[in-house]
Structure 1
Amino acid sequence: MTVTAPARPTVFQGLPKVFWLLFSGQLVNRFGGVVLPFLVFYLTGRGYAAAQIAAVVSAYGLGGLGGQPLGGYLADRFGRRATLISGLLATATCLILIAAAGSLPWLMAGALAMGLAGDVYRPAASALVAETTPPHLRAKAFGLMHWAVNVGTAAAGAIAGFLLAHGFWLLVVLDVATSVAFAVIVAVGIPRGHDKAAARSARNGYAIAARDRVLMAALIFLLTGLVLYAQAAYALPLALAADGFPASLYGLLITVNGAIVVIFQPLFISWLSRLPRLPVLGVSMTVVGLGLGLTGVATQPWHYVATVVLWSIGEIGMAGFEAALIADLTPERAHGTYQALYGWTTAIARFAGPAVGAVLFQAGMLWWACAATGLLCAVFAVTLMPAVARRERALTQPA
Structure 2
Amino acid sequence: MTTTAPTPARATVFRGLPRVFWLLFSGQLVNRLGGVVLPFLAFHLAGRGYTAGQVAAVVSAYGLGGLGGQPLGGYLADRLGRRTTLIGGLLATAGCLVLIAAAGDLTGLTAAALAMGLAGDVYRPAASALVAETTPPHLRARAFGLMHWAVNAGAAVAGAVAGVLLAHGFWLLVALDVTTGVAFAVIVAVGIPRGRDRAVPRPARNGYAVAARDRLLLLALLLLLLGLILYAQAAYALPLALAADGLPASLHGLLITLNGAIVVIFQPVFIAWLSPLPRLPVLGVSMAVVGAGLALTGLAVHPWHYVVTVVLWSIGEIGMAGFEATLVADLTPEGAHGTYQALYGWTAAVARFAGPAAGAVLLQAHALWWACAATGALCAVFAYLLMPALDRRVRACGPPAVPDGGSAAG
Confirm or deny that 1:39 pairs with 2:41: yes
Q: Which residue of 2 aligns with 1:135?
A: 137
The number of residues matched between the two structures is 394
TM superposition shift of 1:7: 6.7
Selected match of 1:348 from 347, 350, 353:
350
Equivalences for residues 329-348 of structure 1 within 5 A:
329-348=331-350
Selected match of 2:80 from 67, 78, 81:
78
Task: Describe the superposition over 1:258-301 as per-residue Cα deviations: whole angstroms up to 9, x where unpaired.
Answer: 01000000011111001000000000000000000001110100
SS at structure 1 position matched to 2:16: coil
Give the whole-Å Cα distance in 1 for the aligned partners of 2:127 and 2:161.
Answer: 26
Task: Name the structure, 1 or 2, with higher relative contact order (CA <8 Å, separation 6+).
Answer: 2
Give the whole-Å Cα distance in 2 for the aligned partners of 1:275 and 1:203.
Answer: 33
Q: Which residue of 2 aligns with 1:119?
A: 121
Deviates more, 1:41-50 or 1:166-175: 41-50
Give the whole-Å Cα distance in 2 for the aligned partners of 1:224 and 1:116.
Answer: 24
Selected match of 2:20 from 14, 18, 21:
18
Whether contact under 8 Å (2:203, 2:336) holds in the other structure is: no
Identity of aligned residues (%): 81
Structure 1, unaligned runs of 5 or more? 1-5
Q: Which residue of 2 aligns with 1:252?
A: 254
The alpha-carbon distance between structure 1 residues 310 and 103, as it changes in their structure 2 partners (threshold 3 A), is: same
Q: Which residue of 2 aligns with 1:205?
A: 207
Selected match of 1:94 from 75, 93, 96:
96
Root mean square deviation of aligned Cα? 1.3
Selected match of 2:184 from 171, 182, 204:
182
Give the whole-Å Cα distance in 2 for the aligned partners of 1:259 and 1:200.
Answer: 41
Q: Which residue of 2 aligns with 1:280?
A: 282
Give the whole-Å Cα distance in 2 for the aligned partners of 1:241 and 1:210.
Answer: 43
The alpha-carbon distance between structure 1 residues 197 and 205, as it changes in their structure 2 partners (threshold 3 A), is: farther
Equivalences for residues 128-277 of structure 1 within 5 A:
128-196=130-198, 198-202=200-204, 204-277=206-279
Task: Describe the superposition over 1:226-276 as per-residue Cα deviations: whole angstroms up to 9, x where unpaired.
Answer: 000000001111111111111111111101100100000001111100100
Deviates more, 1:143-152 or 1:49-58: 49-58
TM-score when scaled to structure 2?
Answer: 0.94
TM superposition shift of 1:203: 5.5
Give the whole-Å Cα distance in 1 for the aligned partners of 2:88 and 2:31.
Answer: 15
Deviates more, 1:199-208 or 1:162-171: 199-208
The alpha-carbon distance between structure 1 residues 7 and 304, as it changes in their structure 2 partners (threshold 3 A), is: closer
Task: Describe the superposition over 1:357-379 as per-residue Cα deviations: whole angstroms up to 9, x where unpaired.
Answer: 01101110000000011000110
Task: Describe the superposition over 1:66-97 as per-residue Cα deviations: whole angstroms up to 9, x where unpaired.
Answer: 00000000000000000000000000000000
Task: Describe the superposition over 1:149-206 as per-residue Cα deviations: whole angstroms up to 9, x where unpaired.
Answer: 0000000001100000000000000000000000000000012122127554346421
Name the aligned partner's letter for residue 169 of structure 2: G
Give the whole-Å Cα distance in 2 for the aligned partners of 1:201 and 1:264.
Answer: 39
Selected match of 1:9 from 8, 11, 32:
11
Give the whole-Å Cα distance in 2 for the aligned partners of 1:397 and 1:341.
Answer: 22
Whether contact under 8 Å (2:284, 2:383) holds in the other structure is: yes
The alpha-carbon distance between structure 1 residues 192 and 398, as it changes in their structure 2 partners (threshold 3 A), is: closer
Name the aligned partner's letter for residue 78 of structure 1: L
Give the whole-Å Cα distance in 2 for the aligned partners of 1:49 and 1:119.
Answer: 27
TM superposition shift of 1:397: 5.7
TM superposition shift of 1:392: 2.2
Whether contact under 8 Å (2:129, 2:338) holds in the other structure is: yes
Name the aligned partner's letter for residue 302 of structure 2: Q
The alpha-carbon distance between structure 1 residues 47 and 207, as it changes in their structure 2 partners (threshold 3 A), is: same
Name the aligned partner's letter for residue 265 of structure 2: I
Name the aligned partner's letter for residue 108 of structure 2: W
Whether contact under 8 Å (1:78, 1:197) holds in the other structure is: no
Give the whole-Å Cα distance in 2 for the aligned partners of 1:10 and 1:149.
Answer: 20
Name the aligned partner's letter for residue 99 of structure 1: A
Deviates more, 1:324-333 or 1:202-211: 202-211
Deviates more, 1:386-395 or 1:213-222: 386-395
Q: Which residue of 2 aligns with 1:317?
A: 319
TM-score when scaled to structure 1?
Answer: 0.97
Give the whole-Å Cα distance in 2 for the aligned partners of 1:347 and 1:246.
Answer: 30
SS at structure 2 position matched to 1:333: coil
Whether contact under 8 Å (1:68, 1:341) holds in the other structure is: yes
SS at structure 1 position matched to 2:298: helix
Q: Which residue of 2 aligns with 1:388?
A: 390
Name the aligned partner's letter for residue 299 of structure 1: V
Whether contact under 8 Å (2:236, 2:359) holds in the other structure is: yes
Give the whole-Å Cα distance in 2 for the aligned partners of 1:218 and 1:156.
Answer: 33
Q: Which residue of 1 aligns with 2:361?
A: 359
Give the whole-Å Cα distance in 1 for the aligned partners of 2:308 and 2:237.
Answer: 17
SS at structure 2 position matched to 1:47: coil
The alpha-carbon distance between structure 1 residues 79 and 162, as it changes in their structure 2 partners (threshold 3 A), is: same
Name the aligned partner's letter for residue 87 of structure 1: G
The alpha-carbon distance between structure 1 residues 398 and 329, as it changes in their structure 2 partners (threshold 3 A), is: closer
SS at structure 2 position matched to 1:38: helix
Whether contact under 8 Å (1:146, 1:319) holds in the other structure is: yes
